Amino acid sequence: MTLRRLRRAADSRAVGPEPSPGDRRATIAAFAAIVAISVIDALVDPAIPGAVALGLVAPAAAGVCSKRQVAALATVATASSVVLVTYYESTTVTSKFIHVTVIGALGLVAYGVTSTRLRREAQLRHARSVAMTLQSAVLEPVPPRLPGLDLASLYMAAEAETLVGGDFYAVVDGPHGIRMLIGDVRGKGLPAVNTAAALMATFREAAYHEKDLTEVAARLEGRIHRLTSERTGPPGERFATALLMAFDDPDTLRLITCGHTPPIMLRDGSSTEIELADIAPPLGLAPLYPGGVRYVEHEIPFAPGDTLVATTDGISEARDEDGRFYPAAARLAGWSRAWPQHIVLHLYSDLRGHTGGPLQDDAAALVLQRPRRATPGSTRRRLPHLI
């Protein structure tokens, strides 16, 4: 996808500077306040300049109402103040003029504040749209089914940020079997996207041609090292955790971890974190090891009905309002017999419920499942992937 197409797609998603009619209930309440202030000022002692309170209505509504609504409130408040100071207040002419001027000025200020707020909201929405478009361009869809495997993927952007994160995943079905990758690049923004895109491109090429999974890991390390050497910055500034997986034997899954979050195996209603004995450092940190980095493959049983869930730390480190981490293994155990597409749907809704609001970090998951023995003519319903 070219940059022009990305920009056009982002522009089509961007919303104008005034995307909604504003908060109607707040507007009604503000007009009711104007009526109440006017009635009270007309009934109380004429020596009390109550009309000046009308100047607070438009600024109070500037945080939630549209420009048109704020302008209407400011106009009505100013007109009401003219009527009140003329017929219901016995202050001096100078005081009346000052009161009306202040109310009108506050209305103008409220209009300006509203314009600035709406413009900033539009910029944030546009930045968010660009980020989502970039992420969708970088992450290729995961096939729902490959020989001997059912798969599903999940990507959740950190809604507190407008920058694209560095979480990534890829699946390659090549002559040496099915190879899968999930990882997390340090940082956010275009540098993280650059690194993630480069690593996925290298993985797709290496996973297709290299028979040995350790060679694939070495190719990834070499690619991120070249990226680091091409840019300025201290050593170790550009790195990524990664989990490489190979499925080329019906009952075995081979894994290599480069400092990545342990995957979770779901089997017979239970869940187990797979703690690998040999953990390589994150990709990009090999120069910090004078003796070199040794990538070790680990074989784990992967029988029909087994499900492996590989996630990034955005899931395992998601916190609730009390600061407690998301119990991924415990929650996933309850979905161990579900299909991969259903697992990611459950994980999405459950994670949002746990945090009770926007995520503080991007989160990604890759679900692999050995399908159980199917009856003749049976089919599975394919659900859309969450990206």
pLDDT in tens, 305-346: 999 999 999 998 999 888 899 999 999 999 998 999 999 999
Most confident by average pLDDT, 223-237, 290-304, 369-383: 290-304
> In the 8-state DSSP scheme, what is residue 378?
-
pTM: 0.68
Higher-confidence residue of 53 and 16: namely 53
Question: What per-residue confidence (pLDDT) applies to 127?
Answer: 77
Confidence of residue 249 (pLDDT cuts 50, 70, 90): confident
Any idea which of 63-67, 134-138, 214-218, 259-263 has the lowest mean pLDDT?
134-138
- CA–CA separation, 245 and 217 (whole Å): 10
Higher-confidence residue of 145 and 237: namely 145
pLDDT in tens, 14-50: 333 444 556 889 999 999 999 999 999 999 988 888 8
Any idea which of 13-17, 149-153, 379-383 has the lowest mean pLDDT?
13-17
Q: How far is CA 271 from CA 75, 294, 300, 306, 327, in A?
A: 64, 29, 14, 10, 11
Instruction: Return phi, psi of residue 337, to 5°.
Output: -100, 5
Closest residue by Cα to residue 155 from 143, 168, 146: 168
- Check pLDDT > 70 for residue 352: yes
Domain boundaries, the chain: 3-11+21-130, 141-369
Higher-confidence residue of 362 and 190: namely 362
DSSP of 36-56:
HHHHHHHHS-TTS-GGGGGGG
CATH class in words for 141-369: alpha beta
Q: What rounded mean pLDDT belongs to the chain? A: 85
- CA–CA separation, 115 and 66 (whole Å): 8
- CA–CA separation, 291 and 185 (whole Å): 24
> In the 8-state DSSP scheme, what is residue 286?
G
pLDDT in tens, 193-212: 888 889 999 999 999 999 99
Return the biggest CA–CA distance within the chain. 94
In this structure, the number of other CB atoms found within 10 A of the CB of residue 355 comes to: 17
pLDDT in tens, 58-116: 999 999 999 999 999 999 999 999 999 999 998 899 999 999 999 999 999 999 999 99
Question: What per-residue confidence (pLDDT) applies to 229?
Answer: 76
Mean pLDDT, rounded, for 2-19? 40
pLDDT in tens, 122-150: 988 887 777 777 767 778 889 999 999 99
Higher-confidence residue of 260 and 2: namely 260
Confidence of residue 7 (pLDDT cuts 50, 70, 90): very low
Q: Hey, is 247 helix, strand or coil?
A: strand
H helices of the chain, in order, are: 3-13, 24-43, 57-61, 67-87, 93-138, 189-209, 213-229, 313-316, 328-333, 340-355
Question: What per-residue confidence (pLDDT) applies to 159?
Answer: 59
